[in-house]
Structure 1
């Protein structure tokens, strides 16, 4: 398939052209919940899906990037799309595109819309790829609900170099009169989101104003105008998942979900590479007594969330294995972790053209106060750590691309 030469090129013109050639499937989707934000989109979507499915609903879901297999991006009424079905849809989209410029994300998004339009379901969960205003997913005229998860600095070269500019791009998914759920935000981001919502007469449910979520004993509580819910602890690890769970519950309440579905949403959701503990595979074989965690966070807010999570875990010597892309704020990600790990082994991400060289990651780690060295591979780093500290906590982190490679090797 000959794709548009730019990896990322934010415009909707190519999408509108191809969708029109395909018969505009985006106009025939089950009710859409559209999700934008910098952090927490995937976890929030996973919780909403778990809650809706617990309530007996069939749910489509679109997410990116994938980790181990491309098929993870498209879920049809609960099941991952099959390879033959995906291949047929991509061929159909390529034929309709007739050789015109198109990006990989655009043509795969069109394929997802075709699949969603042709398969019965009750809801469609649609996660933005990048930004919001000009993202390929932002072609739904009237979604049932929009959601903006926490906005922070990331992808500045595409979205702007201030929180306000990035928030403006994320808020581009808001639609006139369509209800919106707004997660916890920094003031600069919230000001922009609320101003756009006011211009479009969007009824907003905003964290801290209209709903609240907080840990409570061994679980959490959620409160809004409809009352108080006592809920279990989120199944996804980390204290930041309380906020993500709150966002998901606010969305489910807006959709009329029952309390039992809300509890299932946060108890049963599964989302890989979010402080996920590895249970089997080469790294476990190499370090059988270690606790090995995998996380795909890659920006300063994610680094802070991981640091807080580590701080609340039982004390254990912690060592990092880190690989990052050269487009990220490496120092911003690593700085919060400097006090939480005894060492860092830097790796390059195999097969990824935008990988940051391991030596550069190690140099930045040293600059922010982490003892650092390099390794050829993740497995090599795990072996080195286990040789010195058999019962270590090993955190493999820094990129979803690195996480995906690890998951492919670990089933």
Structure 2
């Protein structure tokens, strides 16, 4: 059972090493530059957006991108030191922002002390060779059957929860036996019952994985893919199928939902028609889940992930030291994020709502999202012709347009025409 606060959580997700210009960087910044403190000056931006939490990428000592950890108890010196971290936590809490850390516990870097000291029992082996994570040189897979590894991971989690964080994203959780998580997480929860644990899972039996591992949630990659590909392909049947699956997941757990993160092409670059970014956001904020906004997406930042060395750099750029020094590419996108997050705040039941298709065609989709007696009707049109809606078709007498590509009106309406490549949200 997730902590109650998660029902109201909306994350602003940051990849710190890229955000503060610590990686890639030549020369790399040193601890006395206190780069992590830059994030403090962005916390008001996150709150203005409407976020209630800061989801951080790796912050622990590593050699390169943060996922080749060398010391889970030490802040990466390229970011700063313990005092910088404590300041960030204090400032976040003073603004009512929760903090989520990125726990890389499937693998470590080759500078990790146990590996450097030749303690082979801590690492998985294939024959005479150490197993590397998904073929990446420098990422040595931990042996999760080793009781010392279990103790180590549980202690690391508890250490930073004591330091003020609220939960953990568990990197590459899909590559670790659920048995390991089922052993570690209850030990941590015994000390921190209000903590939240999110497993990074790409595909598979999400509900089964949550149950076997005791995660609170997993990353909803199925829905992420269905959102952008259905908009690109003009195939809302794919989206509807994904939402049927999503409803099934919500019966067991509430997934983390997103249209962008540090590992994927930004949504403004992913969509063939940028008009449809609005449709993606309307979906994100009107379906069940714990939404996450990747830093920069609220300003329509662009960036394409490439499968090569350094291929993540474009989606993990450096940000200016202060928001007022940034050059927003999309003022309208920022305001739309604010409006839709505000809408979600006024309808907190959306956290665990279910969806029902009312109109389903390749390029036109209307769904009812509801929980108990509460409901909204969402109309998405990516066709070149208008979408005409008569609410009485679905037993709804009338409603008010509360958001959409057109100017919402105050009058109650019984019918609606959604413009080509437009969208609307109606409160019955």
TM-score, normalized by length of structure 2? Answer: 0.29
Higher relative contact order (CA 8 A, sep 6+): 1
Specify which structure has the higher proportion of strand. 2
Provide TM-score, normalisation by structure 1: 0.30
